Amino acid sequence: MPTFQLKINGESHTIEAEGDTPLLWVLRDQIDLVGTKYGCGIGQCGACTVHVDGEATRSCLQPVSQLAGKAITTIEGLSEYGTHPVQEAWKDVDVPQCGYCQSGQIMTASAFLNENANPSKSEIRDAMHGNICRCASYNSIEKAVEVAASKLS
């Protein structure tokens, strides 16, 4: 079986997997980083979002063969103690209901705010619209992104 060197949350990992194995399954099944969730498997819901070189990426669609030399960050690596401004805003606004989509939402929001630290409400809505929340907490999610942006500025 082929091996791949991946840098995940700042640590190097040697992975044995077929080249077309989605990153999601490597994270969950081989490295035991289960904060990244399986939602739909076709890149539509956003539950599996991680950062690859700082960009929000659907890990269910990302084959491991394309990740050598790239920095991968999961929700576990966003901040050691859950103190990233987006994570703090999520707590301040009390966003989670069932919580299933939250890691993907947070990873999408943090990548977005790295690119646009002072977004308008419509920019926030546009940036977050690709992530599905089964509990329909969209207003709270958008508010938390606003709060996080204010913490970053």
57: left (phi over 0), alpha (psi -120 to 50) or beta: beta
Mean residue pLDDT of the chain comes to 97
pLDDT at 62 > cutoff 90: yes
What mean pLDDT do residues 104-125 have?
97
**How far apart are the C-alpha atoms of 25 and 17, rounded to whole Å?**
10
Is the domain of 65 the same as that of 99?
A: no
Q: What percent of the chain has a predicted confidence (pLDDT) above 90? A: 96
pLDDT at 40 > cutoff 80: yes
Is the domain of 53 the same as that of 105?
A: no
For residue 99, give its domain range.
85-152
Contact present, 62 and 126 (Cβ < 8 Å): no
- Which domain-ending residue is among 20, 52, 78? 78
Is the domain of 54 the same as that of 104?
A: no
**How far apart are the C-alpha atoms of 103 and 125, rounded to whole Å?**
17
pLDDT at 136 > cutoff 90: yes
Contact present, 77 and 8 (Cβ < 8 Å): yes
Q: What percent of the chain has a predicted confidence (pLDDT) above 70? A: 100
The pLDDT value given to residue 152: 87
- Report yes or no on whether pTM surpasses 0.95: yes
What mean pLDDT do residues 26-39 have?
97
Is the domain of 36 the same as that of 94?
A: no
> Structurally, how many domains does the chain consist of?
2
